[in-house]
Every structure is written in structure tokens, then in C-alpha cells.
């Protein structure tokens, strides 16, 4: 037996315990769940008021674009924070690596600003055609 095999047992036990828990929860909900339906069960209900109109709201794709940019840049701060915690152990190699990382972030942010991806107002992105133009 090699040395890596014993360290896998806790992972396997955890994996099968999670599978057993999920199967148990699904099985109990299937057995104990409510199966009867009536007219009121199938009616839409929100905050005690019957809904009027379409539940589908058309949101601009730019909203999601801004949200994705936020998540990306927020996640990258986690890497910078991890570097700051291990600052003294990483020495100059770590400093150069985080400098390159921050430089790439800055270039990406400048690109997004210049292309108009972060503008909330009227969209006039460079490189994209406007409607009606060829």
C-alpha cells in the first residue's frame, strides 16, 4: 500500500455519508410528502395577494454583465488577501507574482472602461455596431 491510500478513506466515508443523507431525505419526502391537490394549490400566490400580469420581467443584459464583473473582481480580491496573509513567507517571488496579477487586473479594468462595459447610461460601445448601421 502506498502512503496516499489511507488519506482517501475520510473522503470516501464523507462522500458516501452525503449520498446516504441525500437519498434518505429524498426518499422520506417522497413517502411523507403531500400528494393531494386542489384548486387553491395550483393558484399563484405571493404575499397574500393574487398576482396580476406576467411574472416575467425583462431585465437588461447589462445588469447581468455588471453583476458578473463585480463577482470576478470581488473574487480576485480574495487572492490578493491570501497573498497579504502570506506576505512574509512569499518573499520577492510572491511580490512579483502579485504585481503581475494586479497589472493584469488593471489592464482588464481599463479595457472594460474604454469599451463602455461599465457604463450604466446610454450604450455606445466601441467595436459594436448600432442598430440600423452597416
pLDDT at 6: 65
**Residue-range domain boundaries for the chain:** 59-121
pLDDT at 123: 57
User: Contact at 8 Å (CB) between 73 and 109?
Assistant: yes
- Which portions of the chain are predicted below pLDDT 50? 134
pLDDT at 121: 64
Q: C-alpha dihedral over 17, 18, 22, 27, to 10 degrees?
A: -10
pLDDT at 107: 93
Angle (CA) 39-44-47 rounded to 5° is: 120
Amino acid at each position: 500500500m502506498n502512503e496516499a491510500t489511507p488519506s482517501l478513506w475520510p473522503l470516501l466515508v464523507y462522500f458516501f455519508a452525503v449520498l446516504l443523507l441525500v437519498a434518505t431525505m429524498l426518499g422520506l419526502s417522497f413517502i411523507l410528502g403531500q400528494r393531494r391537490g386542489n384548486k387553491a394549490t395550483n393558484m399563484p400566490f405571493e404575499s397574500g395577494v393574487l398576482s396580476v400580469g406576467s411574472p416575467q420581467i425583462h431585465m437588461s443584459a447589462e445588469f447581468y454583465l455588471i453583476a458578473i464583473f463585480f463577482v470576478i473582481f470581488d473574487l480576485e480580491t480574495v487572492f490578493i488577501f491570501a497573498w497579504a496573509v502570506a506576505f512574509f513567507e512569499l518573499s520577492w517571488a510572491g511580490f512579483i507574482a502579485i504585481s503581475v496579477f494586479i497589472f493584469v487586473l488593471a489592464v482588464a479594468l481599463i479595457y472594460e472602461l474604454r469599451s463602455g462595459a461599465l457604463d450604466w447610461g446610454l450604450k455606445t460601445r466601441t467595436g459594436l455596431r448600432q442598430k440600423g448601421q452597416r
